[in-house]
Every structure is written in C-alpha cells, then in structure tokens.
C-alpha cells in the first residue's frame, strides 16, 4: 500500500495510580468548571448575575431551618439508594432496577398500612410494614440476579425492565386504592389514625429517617471494608474466574449481594411511605434509582465519598429548585443543572485514568 | 366485536415512536454502545422540533410555508439529537467513560431539558399564547394521501398516516439491509462484537462508533418529533412522552437486534399499549396491567435467549464495554 501511516498528534496511555491528592484536585477542578457552566446557563435564562445565582442556590438549599432539614432528608434518601446499589456495582453487577425495588418496598408498606391499619397496634404495624418492604425489595432484585447467576442473562436490561413492571403494578394498585374514586391518587394513607406512620420528632419524622440512613451508611462501610462478604464481593468484581479458583461460589455471592441490595432499596421505599410521604405514587422513587447509580459510581464505591457526592447533587437540586420557583420557570431546571454537573465529573475521570502525550514535531517517541 | 380496522391504525401510531427509537438504538448497540440515553435523546429531539416550529410560527405572519413548516422542526430535531449523540460519543468513546453512567445522566438531562423548555418556552420567549399548541405545523406532519379516504379499510390501515410513519419504516428496512448485507454493516458489527479484532483488521473503531452513535441518536430523536407533531397533534405536555424511550430499548431486545422485525414489533408493542381501549372491561385498573405486558414479554425474550444461547440471537459480544487499544 502506498498510504503512509501518519503519526497521531495526541497519544494516550494509561496512568499508574495517581496520588490521592491529585485525583481530588482533578475532580474538584471539574466540579468548579461545571459550576461555572451552570452559572452561565442560569444567567442566560434568568438574567441574574453569577453571585446572586449562587446566593439564591445557597438560600434555596440552606436558607431556613425547614429548608435545611428538607435538604438533609433528600440527602438521606438519595444516599440510602446509592448505598443499596453499591455492593452490586462493586461486583460489576449493573443493578439499574433501584427504581423498581424502591417502589416494591413502598408498595408493600402501603399494602400493609391500608389493609392492616385498624387491626394491628401501631408499633407492630410499623415492624410488619418494614419486613414486608424489605422482602418485596429483595425479591425484586433477586429475580434478575438468579437468572444472571444461572444463565448469565444480561442484568442491565433485565433490571431496567423490572422497573417498569413495578411501576405498572403500582399504577394498578393505585387505581384500586384511590381515594376518592376516580381521582387517580391514593391520598394520605391513614390520615386520622396515623397507623403505620413513623413517630414524629418535632413536626415530622425526617430526623428519624436521617438517623436510619446514618446507621446504614456506617453498616455498609463496615460490611464492604471489613467483612468476609465484602471481600468476596470485590474479588468477584475484579474477576469471576479468580473468584471461582479461590473457591468463592460466584452464583451464591451474586444472589446474596443482590438480596442485600434489593433489601436496602425496599427499606428506602418503606422510609418514603412510612416516614416521609405517607402516600404512594408511581413517581415516588423520583429517579433516585438512577441518580443513586451515578452517586455510587462517581464516588468510586467509596462510602464516605458517596455522602459528599449525594450532598452535591441534592444541594444543586434544591438550589436550582429555588431559582426556578423564583423565576416562574419549570422545576425540571434542577435536572438540567444535575446533568451538566454529572457530565463534567464523568468526563474528568478520563484525566485521572489516562495521560495525554502531545507528540513532538520530529515524530520521535516521547515520554 | 373486536374492531381491527380501528385498532391497527392506532397501534401503528403508538408504535412508530418506538420504531424510531428502536432502530436508532439498534445501530448504536450493533457498534457495541449501549446507549441508555435514548429516552433523553427522544425528549430532546421532540422539544427541539417544538422550539423550532414554535419560533417559526411566532415569527411567521399569515399562512405557513409548507416546506419550511416541515423543514425547520425536522432540522432542529436532528440537530438537537445529533448534539446529544456527540455528547455520548465524546464521553464514552474518546473519554472512555462508562456507557451506562453516561447514558443515565443523559436521560436525566434530556428529560429535564424537554420538560424545562416545554414548561418555560412561552415565558422565555415572551410569547402571548397560553400553551404550546402547534396545530398548524402538525397538520403538515400528519397529512396523508387524499386517496386513502376512498379506499375503505385498506386505505385506513395502510395509507392513513403522515409521512414520518413511512419514513420510520423505510429507515428500519434500510438499516436492516445495511447491517446485514453491506460491507459497512459487516464492519460495524465487527466493531460491536470484538473491537480489538476489528482494529487489527484495519477498521477505524472510533470512527464507526462515533458514526453509529450519532446516526442512531438522530433517528431516535425523530421518534420524539413524530410523537409531538403527529401523534399529539403538536401539543407538548410535560412527561406525556412517558416511558416510551425505555419501551424502545425493550423493543431492541424483543426484536433480537433486527430492525426489520422491529417494524412488526413496534406495532405489537403499540397495540399492547392501547389494547385496553378495545377490550370490554369494566375495570379501569386492568389497563395498567396491560401496559405491563411489553416489559414482561421483553423479560421473557431476554431469559429465553440467554438460556437457549443461539449465537445469532445474542447481544453484540462487547456491548457496553469501552475499547482502548493499548489495554489488552
């Protein structure tokens, strides 16, 4: 062939592990760049100057005591989902079914609250709801896990489809339970008796929910870092072959981990119905099943980093919400801001893992 | 009696957005990219078309020029979805980010983008209309041949659609042909099955991936446009598009990555979506269970193909994996 191979201008190699400090510098740099882009977008849409953009955002997220507690409640919810999905991811099992697993937990809770609300004393009912929610969430996650373990069925697509089966199932029951008939809404469940509701601390039970999630966070940290299960999960994640050579039963680990993952998702659903919303809708999970995946992934499965990643996303969401209410814009503004931040952080991982060499004119190998 | 002549056209109308989405997703999956951003892309495609035609309708005094009324929304829809495709390919191909994560972020962003502009467009442009209703433009999109009305049931089932329906079917057939019978298609599939081998054979892996993702996104974006302009008669309402994007991804699996099957698959899925309207049932709630059927069917297909392990029914071998030449 007469074609002369041109040497490419840029040459990419994989980096050895960067020191911790540098990786965080890159990430923080990306976040700052993303915030600047967000500020510009907001300026273009609202005509605010950048300082008042961030001023409004901070006010929206933390401005009053009530806003602050809502921020932490939202943080707890998102973090809980991210924690639930983490063990599965660490095993390289793409559990995109968080949305459905949460919803099944919520469904089980609502079911128990509606049918047993006036028959069983309050405290016992809460426990029954909790157990039912955990079981339902776990089953919903176990179905794809079973097929993955047995026949290597593609779990990404399977878990994704399970979300919509759950959504339609809940939609069906919402119509059965709707109050008043024809409204398409369940309304507040047990509004007068408050049966099955988590006890209030102050004017709501958000603080209780936050405490629960703090416990799960600590538990998950220990589970992944110090337990035998956590070790097995990371071995299976690195290489299934290695795992089976050293005598780990891969199918068992997959199913067990997904049971745990689904159970925590179910638990989150229980908190949403019993502790926060006291009702059920098909959009209850509100995309947290997907956002949780991104939180978990952005934090590189590090439980502590996950707290900050969820804080960032929730903070921006609440802040952008404030801007959109102030300017009469659609509340989906928050999704756009979240999207921009995510793209930047996802993109910056490249510069952590790879090094770009610019080739010198002479064409000689450099670096 | 079950009214088939009324049922089929409605199933087709429901199915076409899915067909666009499915064809687009198939192209990118065949090149090894699992683009979970498709639901977002379809929203962006839809809203970009709406923005284009909204601005045109506002700017235009007197009757609309038929060519421009179709061209402007089409061009802005394709442009918007192309940008989304470029975003996905830059992040996953050049920057080697994880496809699932990027895809989900794109869906979050795209759905937000659609709803945001759908909800705020009037305020942002200072228009004096209460809601986005582009019925003028929509009429051009949903115009069907005059002869269809005089042909009875035949006309109703086969000829009563706007031009985008036939475009969807044409694109699906062409895609199936290109993937199966041409050299480009062979090389594209090679990239999706085993990029390292394809690279060794002298195929430019990144170029194929970029093209497949971008073309796939543009086709999927048209699905959003079809939904707003033809199906919804030009009325944009937030979240009305619903989970059709995910249904399109389900359809890819259901049809085993074959766009020519997808034409019928899309109509079947569309039919399942509206079946409850045609079945006698006193119970409102049951219709939600019917809507579950497409997903259940997809799950069954997914399980069945993985249990049977027939080689030609499997997903592309390196679906979802990034490719880095030096990484062996």
Is residue B27 domain-resident? yes
CB B322 within 8 A of CB B98: yes
A176 interaction partners in chain B (CB closer than 8 Å):
285
Cα angle for residues A318, A106, A194 (degrees, 5° grid): 90
Name which residue leads in pLDDT, A345 or B326.
A345
Task: Kindly indicate whether the ipTM for this predicted assembly is greater than 0.95, answering yes or no.
Answer: no
Contact B97 A152 (CB under 8 A): no
Within 10 angstroms of residue B200's Cβ, the number of other Cβ atoms is: 10
Per-residue CA distances from A354 to A305, B94, B143, B324, B327 (Å) = 22, 11, 53, 11, 11
Rounded distance between C-alpha atoms, residue A213 and residue A77, angstroms: 8
* Residue of chain B whose alpha carbon sits nearest to that of A350: B95
CB A120 within 8 A of CB A286: no
A246 burial class (0-12, 13-18, 19+ CB within 10 angstroms)?
A: exposed
| pLDDT at position A178 | 81
Q: How confident is the model at residue A358 (pLDDT cuts 50, 70, 90)?
A: confident
Is residue B129 domain-resident? yes
A346 interaction partners in chain B (CB closer than 8 Å):
91, 95, 97-98, 101-102, 105
CB A314 within 8 A of CB A78: yes
What distance separates the 2 farthest-apart alpha carbons in chain B? 64
Contact A335 B118 (CB under 8 A): no
Is residue B295 domain-resident? no
User: B31 pLDDT exceeds 50?
Assistant: yes
Contact B299 A158 (CB under 8 A): yes
What is the per-residue burial (b if ≥16 Cβ within 10 Å, else e) of A42-62?
A: beebbebeeeebeebbebbbb
Q: How many domains does chain B have?
A: 1
Task: Pinpoint the alpha helices (H) of B126-201.
Answer: 135-141, 152-154, 163-181, 183-193, 195-200
Contact A294 B95 (CB under 8 A): no
DSSP structure class, residue B146: G
Q: Does B253 touch chain A (CB under 8 A)?
A: yes
DSSP structure class, residue B264: H
Work out the minimum CA distance from A141 to partner chain B, whole angstroms.
14
Among A97-106, A356-365, B15-24, the minimum mean pLDDT is found in: A356-365
Name which residue leads in pLDDT, A193 or B87.
B87
Task: List Cβ neighbours of A350 (8 Å cut-off, separation of 6 or more).
Answer: B94, B95, B96, B97
Q: How confident is the model at residue B141 (pLDDT cuts 50, 70, 90)?
A: confident
Q: Give the mean model confidence (pLDDT) for residues B201-210.
A: 90
Task: Pinpoint the alpha helices (H) of A47-121.
Answer: 50-62, 65-90, 98-116
Among A139-143, A167-171, B277-281, the minimum mean pLDDT is found in: B277-281
Contact A330 B238 (CB under 8 A): yes
Q: Which residue do the tokens 């176990």 mark?
A: A142
Task: List Cβ neighbours of B2 (8 Å cut-off, separation of 6 or more).
Answer: B278
Name which residue leads in pLDDT, B121 or A253.
A253
Length of chain B in residues, anyone?
A: 328
CB B229 within 8 A of CB B161: no
Cα A199 from chain centroid (whole Å): 26
Query: Where do the domains of chain A lie?
Result: 81-305
CB A149 within 8 A of CB A255: yes
Rounded distance between C-alpha atoms, residue B42 and residue B20, angstroms: 9
| pLDDT at position B128 | 65
Within 10 angstroms of residue A239's Cβ, the number of other Cβ atoms is: 11
CB B190 within 8 A of CB B176: no
Q: How large a percentage of chain B has pLDDT more than 70?
A: 95
Name which residue leads in pLDDT, A290 or A3.
A290
Rounded distance between C-alpha atoms, residue A71 and residue A319, angstroms: 10
The H-or-E segment that residue A340 falls in is helix A333-353
Tell me the pTM.
0.88
A330 interaction partners in chain B (CB closer than 8 Å):
115-120, 238
| pLDDT at position A6 | 63
CB A116 within 8 A of CB A132: no
User: B316 pLDDT exceeds 80?
Assistant: yes
| pLDDT at position A361 | 57
Q: How large a percentage of chain A has pLDDT more than 90?
A: 24
Mutate to test the interface with A, among B103, B108, B256, B323 (most CBs of A within 10 A): B108
Bridge partner list, A358: A10
For chain B positions 13-72, those within 8 Å of chain A (CB to CB) are: 34, 36
Q: How confident is the model at residue B17 (pLDDT cuts 50, 70, 90)?
A: very high
User: A4 pLDDT exceeds 50?
Assistant: yes
Reported as a single tens digit per residue, the pLDDT across A90-101 is: 888 888 989 999
| pLDDT at position B121 | 78
Reported as a single tens digit per residue, the pLDDT across A183-231 is: 778 878 877 777 778 777 777 778 888 889 999 999 999 998 899 998 8
Mean pLDDT comparison of A149-153, A260-264, B122-126, highest-scoring range: A260-264
User: A338 pLDDT exceeds 70?
Assistant: yes
User: A116 pLDDT exceeds 90?
Assistant: no
| pLDDT at position A363 | 46
Q: How many helices (H) and strands (E) does chain A have?
A: 13, 2
| pLDDT at position A353 | 81
Work out the minimum CA distance from B261 to partner chain A, whole angstroms.
19
Taking all residues of chain A, what is their mean pLDDT, rounded to a whole number?
A: 85
Q: Which residue do the tokens 């060794």 mark?
A: B200
Reported as a single tens digit per residue, the pLDDT across A279-321 is: 888 888 888 888 898 888 888 888 898 999 999 889 988 888 8
Q: Give the mean model confidence (pLDDT) for residues A255-265.
A: 93
Q: How confident is the model at residue A1 (pLDDT cuts 50, 70, 90)?
A: very low
Work out the minimum CA distance from B173 to partner chain A, whole angstroms.
25
Reported as a single tens digit per residue, the pLDDT across B90-138 is: 999 888 888 888 998 999 899 989 988 887 777 777 666 667 777 777 8
Using DSSP bridges, classify how beta strands A354-358 and A10-14 pair: parallel, antiparallel or unpaired: antiparallel
| First vs last C-alpha separation in chain B | 62
Name which residue leads in pLDDT, A352 or B226.
B226
Work out the minimum CA distance from A201 to partner chain B, whole angstroms.
34
Q: Give the mean model confidence (pLDDT) for residues A29-39.
A: 89
| pLDDT at position B130 | 67
Q: How confident is the model at residue A366 (pLDDT cuts 50, 70, 90)?
A: very low
Q: Does B108 touch chain A (CB under 8 A)?
A: yes
B292 interaction partners in chain A (CB closer than 8 Å):
164-165, 168-169, 172
Q: Give the mean model confidence (pLDDT) for residues B280-296.
A: 78
Within 10 angstroms of residue B121's Cβ, the number of other Cβ atoms is: 18
| pLDDT at position B328 | 52
Tell me the DSSP string of B40-101: HHHHHHHHHHHHHHHHHHHH--SSPPHHHHHHHHHHHHHHHHHHHHHHHHIIIIIS---HHH
**Best CA proximity match to A97, nearest among A133, A140, A136:** A140
Contact A294 B288 (CB under 8 A): no
Q: How confident is the model at residue B322 (pLDDT cuts 50, 70, 90)?
A: confident
Contact A335 B112 (CB under 8 A): yes
Is residue B82 domain-resident? yes
Range of the domain at B145: 19-242
Q: Is the dihedral of CA B101, B102, B108, B111 positive or negative?
A: negative
A96 interaction partners in chain B (CB closer than 8 Å):
36, 100, 104
**Best CA proximity match to B23, nearest among B266, B202, B228, B315:** B266
User: B214 pLDDT exceeds 90?
Assistant: yes
B246 interaction partners in chain A (CB closer than 8 Å):
160, 163-164
Taking all residues of chain B, what is their mean pLDDT, rounded to a whole number?
A: 85
Helix axis angle, A206-226 relative to A65-90, nearest 10°?
A: 30
Q: How large a percentage of chain B has pLDDT more than 90?
A: 32
User: A175 pLDDT exceeds 70?
Assistant: yes
Q: How confident is the model at residue A332 (pLDDT cuts 50, 70, 90)?
A: confident
Contact B102 A291 (CB under 8 A): no
Q: Does B155 touch chain A (CB under 8 A)?
A: no
Work out the minimum CA distance from B320 to partner chain A, whole angstroms.
10
The H-or-E segment that residue B251 falls in is helix B244-254
Q: How confident is the model at residue A136 (pLDDT cuts 50, 70, 90)?
A: very high
């Amino acid at each position: 062939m007469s074609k002369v191979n041109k040497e490419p201008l840029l040459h990419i190699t994989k980096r050895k592990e960067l020191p911790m400090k540098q990786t965080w510098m890159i990430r923080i740099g990306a976040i700052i760049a993303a915030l600047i882009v967000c500020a510009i977008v907001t300026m273009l849409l609202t005509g605010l100057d950048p300082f008042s953009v961030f001023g409004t955002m901070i006010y929206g997220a933390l401005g009053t005591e009530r806003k602050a507690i809502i921020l932490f409640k939202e943080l707890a919810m998102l973090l809980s989902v991210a924690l639930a999905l983490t063990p599965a991811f660490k095993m390289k099992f793409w559990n995109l079914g968080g949305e459905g697993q949460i919803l099944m937990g919520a469904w089980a809770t609502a079911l128990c609250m509606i049918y047993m609300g006036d028959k069983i004393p309050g405290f016992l009912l809460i426990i029954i709801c909790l157990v039912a929610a955990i079981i339902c969430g776990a089953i919903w996650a176990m179905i794809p896990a079973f097929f993955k373990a047995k026949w290597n069925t593609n779990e990404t697509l399977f878990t994704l489809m399970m979300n919509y089966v759950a959504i339609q199932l809940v939609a069906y029951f919402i119509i059965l339970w709707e109050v008043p008939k024809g409204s398409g809404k369940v309304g507040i469940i047990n509004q007068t008796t408050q049966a099955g509701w988590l006890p209030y601390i102050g004017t709501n039970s958000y603080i209780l929910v936050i405490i629960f999630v703090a416990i799960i966070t600590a538990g998950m940290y220990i589970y992944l870092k110090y337990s035998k299960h956590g070790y097995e999960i990371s071995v299976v994640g690195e290489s299934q072959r290695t795992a089976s050579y050293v005598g780990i039963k891969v199918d068992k680990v997959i199913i067990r981990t997904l049971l745990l993952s689904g159970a925590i998702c179910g638990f989150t659903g229980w908190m949403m119905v019993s502790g926060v919303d006291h009702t059920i809708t098909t959009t209850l999970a509100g995309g947290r099943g997907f956002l949780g995946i991104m939180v978990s992934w952005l934090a590189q499965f590090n439980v502590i980093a996950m707290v900050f990643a969820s804080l960032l996303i929730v903070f921006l969401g609440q802040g952008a919400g404030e801007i959109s209410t102030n300017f009469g814009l659609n509340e989906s503004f928050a999704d756009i801001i979240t999207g921009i931040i995510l793209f930047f952080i996802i993109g910056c991982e490249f510069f952590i893992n790879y090094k770009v060499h610019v080739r010198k004119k002479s064409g000689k190998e450099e670096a | 009696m079950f009214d088939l002549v009324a049922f089929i056209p409605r199933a087709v109308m429901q199915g076409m957005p899915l067909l666009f989405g499915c064809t687009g997703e198939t192209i990118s999956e065949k090149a090894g990219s699992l683009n979970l951003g498709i639901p977002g892309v379809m929203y962006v495609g839809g809203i970009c078309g709406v923005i284009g035609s909204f601005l045109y309708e506002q700017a235009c005094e007197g009757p609309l020029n038929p060519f421009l009324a179709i061209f402007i929304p089409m061009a802005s829809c394709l442009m918007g979805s192309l940008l989304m495709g470029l975003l996905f390919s830059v992040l996953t191909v050049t920057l080697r980010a994880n496809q699932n994560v990027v895809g989900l972020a794109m869906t979050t962003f795209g759905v937000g983008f659609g709803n945001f502009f759908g909800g705020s467009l009037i305020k942002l442009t200072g228009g004096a209309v209460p809601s986005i209703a582009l019925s003028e433009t929509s009429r051009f999109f949903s115009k069907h041949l005059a002869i269809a009305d005089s042909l009875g049931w035949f006309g109703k089932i086969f000829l009563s659609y706007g031009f985008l329906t036939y475009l969807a079917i044409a694109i699906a057939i062409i895609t199936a042909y290109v993937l199966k019978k041409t050299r480009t298609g062979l090389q594209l599939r090679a990239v999706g099955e085993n990029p390292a081998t394809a690279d060794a054979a002298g195929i430019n892996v990144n170029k194929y991936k970029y093209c497949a993702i971008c073309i796939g996104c543009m086709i999927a974006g048209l699905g959003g446009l079809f939904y707003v302009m033809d199906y919804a008669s030009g009325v944009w309402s937030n979240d009305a598009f619903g989970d059709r994007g995910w249904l399109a991804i389900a359809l890819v699996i259901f049809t085993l990555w074959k766009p020519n099957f997808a034409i019928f698959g899309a109509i079947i899925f569309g039919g399942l979506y509206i079946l409850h309207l045609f079945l006698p049932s006193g119970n409102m709630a049951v219709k939600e269970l019917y809507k579950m059927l497409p997903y259940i069917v997809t799950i069954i297909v997914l399980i069945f193909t993985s249990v049977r392990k027939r080689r030609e029914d499997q997903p592309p071998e390196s679906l979802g994996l990034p490719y880095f030449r030096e990484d062996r």
